[in-house]
Structure 1
């Protein structure tokens, strides 16, 4: 089980990016959360099987058709036990 803190920079707010990430997380059986940041970026924590997390991150780097990803940072962090789903935080 792997867990990452990820921050995505670019045109990622107001373009449905969080919902794209939520849908993608569910497709890859990823748990965690995502939220907008004040500076215009989006941050998230994601957790799942290592292979699934890598596939998920690769999809996030592509974004949806409205987002424009300029940069992404990933840092591995400790897993959280008993987390069951992925959610958008407002």
Structure 2
């Protein structure tokens, strides 16, 4: 079943290739959406895909790339909008 998640990741997640890591994981799991840095130091992710794939995606986001340190992750499950055709980094 297709789902959508809106995620906020806190910790040492900027300047450590977290967005690139997120995009690579999304591509690997056939997930669509976007990722961006926020001014307060968090990373925001909006993603759509199969529920099981999104669960795997979230587990990867909890780990992050080697230089990252994830302290907290907020997840809001939503109904999909099917607005995405790719996964991109927003600057």
Q: Which range, TM-score by smaller chain?
A: over 0.9
TM-score of the pair, normalised by structure 1: 0.96
The one-character-per-residue Cα deviations of 1:21-55 (angstroms, maximum 9, x if unpaired) are 00000000000000000100000101100100001
Please report the RMSD computed on the Cα atoms of aligned residues, expressed in angstroms.
Answer: 0.8
CA–CA distance in 2 between the matches of 1:10 and 1:22?
Answer: 18
TM-score, length basis structure 2 = 0.95
Distance in 2, Cα, partners of 1:82 & 1:40 = 27
Q: Which runs of 5+ in 1 are unaligned?
A: none
Structure 2 runs not aligned, ≥5 long: none
- Shift in Å at residue 82 of structure 1? 4.6
Structure 2: how far apart are the matches of 1:38 and 1:22? 20
Output the CA distance in 2 between the equivalents of 1:16 and 1:82: 26
Q: Is the 2:32–2:87 contact (alpha carbons within 8 Å) kept by the matching residues of 1?
A: yes
Aligned counterpart, 1:51: 52
